[in-house]
Amino acid sequence: MSRAAPSLQVRLLGLMFGVLAALWAATLALTLSDTRHELGELLDAHLAQSASLLLVQDADADGDLEAPDAPILHRYAPRVAFQVWRDGRLVLRSANAPALPFGPVARRDGFTFVDVPGARWRVFAAWDPARRRQVYVGERVGARDEILRAVLRGVSWPLALALPVLGLATWWTVRRGLAPLRRLGRTLAARRPDALEPVAVDGMFAEMLPLAASLNDLLGRIADLLANERRFTADAAHELRTPVAAIRMQAQVARAAADDASRAHALDGLLAGCDRAARLIDQLLTLARVESAQAPEMADVELAGLVRGVMAELAPAALAKGQQLELDAPAPCVVRGNALLLAVLVRNLVDNAVRYAPREAAIGVRVHRERDGVVLDVEDGGPGLADAELARLGERFYRVPGSAAPGSGLGWSIVRRIAAAHGARVDVRRSASLGGLAVTVTFA
């Protein structure tokens, strides 16, 4: 069972919700830190101010130890306590202040934390040297934490309510932003299977244009591939009809032959027709492979050695016609290409020269390096071609009128397609030295 394809919308929503949650948590953490600091500063200032008021007031100027405790006048008053000591004696305190001093009872100033049985206090101490009084004003740390939590509750509720609202807004935004992609998907799904025309890009967002351009390029390549396949099928059917008909005719002649000589002649024609059909099939398959959309695998190829091997294969055919086949390759020449396809290119060029050049003609092949790159030259001493015939070389199934040599007319198409696949240039002209056809393939 295939796994369901991941959703881009779900992925975007997950990422954005994660970012929102992280921002919410970071905001809450920063708010907690800042509020804790500011609240501490505010409450510390309150403690210091209360201590200052106690220092300047005139209560218990005689230092009576039995002075009554200060009354509690506010509901938050139990959270704050104070003590006034003079000469080591407690002269005044709030009702909720402990009897034990918040700290040393002489000459102490500033803030500190004090642990008194039952609670932890934040205490500000102030010393009055003129009256020899030590004042302590303290606040329960737990009370500060309660105030901090109350402040955070007031801050976090709006944030908590805003988070789902932001989530819904994000979901709506992402869904609306991806609507063009969904429309494109529906448009492609509604197309006919054979519809290969480009997708309209009018009104598309800039981010979708590369996708549409790549899609249109793919559709164009598919259209070219299908056109090549249709053309290949039509060409193969057209060209195979001739050798098959010739084979059938020779088989009928052999069957009706009255003597062995006639039968042998018909059988020789039958074998020649089979050879022609086999060569045509090989050429068609080679052409189909070269015209496929897949780029050939490239590697460094020593062209002189490759040409030498191909010429060794074709040497018997040249010797049978008394032709002089020569190779001039003074030094190794390395090109970037596909060895199999380059061998097909060289074989077609040399084989054409052997088959179309007359008996005892000279055929010269040269591999050398020039400023523009590696050059392959193939020349023959045949009759050559007229300018009009040179212009038509490379057309599918085109054969020079009046040629007696067997062939399919695909060799030049294959040569030009292989050269194009390797970025090479093919030039055809009359040979200045041998008088026949001269072909130059230049590899950059």
Report the CATH number that the domain containing residue 262 is assigned in CATH.
Answer: 1.10.287
- For residue 392, give the CATH number of its domain: 3.30.565.10
Out of 197-201, 324-328, 348-352, 431-435, which region has the weakest mean confidence (pLDDT)?
197-201
**Among all chains, which residue has been given the structure tokens 């040399």?**
350
Same domain, yes or no: 14 and 159:
yes
Per the domain annotation, does 244 fall within a domain? Answer: yes
- Does any domain span residue 354? yes
Range scoring the smallest mean pLDDT among 94-103, 123-132, 279-288: 279-288
**pLDDT above 90 (res 307):** yes
Q: Which of 249, 196, 171, 184 is nearest to 13 (CA)?
A: 171
For residue 370, being part of any structural domain is answered with yes
Pairwise CA distance, residues 209 & 201, whole Å: 7
Is 39 in contact with 144 (CB distance < 8 Å)? yes
Do 68 and 43 lie in one domain? The reply is yes
In this prediction, residue 365 carries a pLDDT of 94
> Residues 373, 430: one domain?
yes
Examine the domain organization and report whether 273 and 300 are in the same domain: no
Domain range for 258 is 213-288
Q: How many domains does the chain have?
A: 3
Please state the φ and ψ torsions of residue 423, each to the nearest 5 degrees: 70, 25
Are both 314 and 251 inside the same structural domain? no
Show the tokens assigned to 439: 């072909």
Domain closes at, from 163, 187, 203: 163
Tokens encoding 119: 């609670």
Same domain, 264 and 349: no
Mean pLDDT of 282-305: 75
- Structural domain contains residue 203: no
Entry pTM: 0.45
Pick from 360, 367, 381, 382: nearest CA to 327:
367
**pLDDT at position 4, please?**
53
Using CA atoms, how far apart are residues 321 and 315, in angstroms rounded to an integer? 10
Co-location of 154 and 232 in the same domain:
no
Do 159 and 21 fall within a single domain?
Answer: yes
Query: If pLDDT is split at 50, 70 and 90, which confidence band does 308 have?
Result: very high
Which range among 60-64, 78-82, 93-97 shows the weakest confidence by mean pLDDT?
60-64
pLDDT (tens digit per residue) in 404-444: 444 445 677 778 888 888 889 998 888 888 888 899 999 98
Question: Domain boundary at 232, 258, 288, which?
Answer: 288
Q: Up-side HSE of residue 275: CA atoms within 13 Å toward CB?
A: 9
Q: Which of 288, 321, 351 is the last residue of a domain?
A: 288
| Residue 368 pLDDT greater than 90, yes or no | yes
Q: Given this model, what pLDDT does residue 387 score?
A: 60
Same domain, 424 and 311: yes
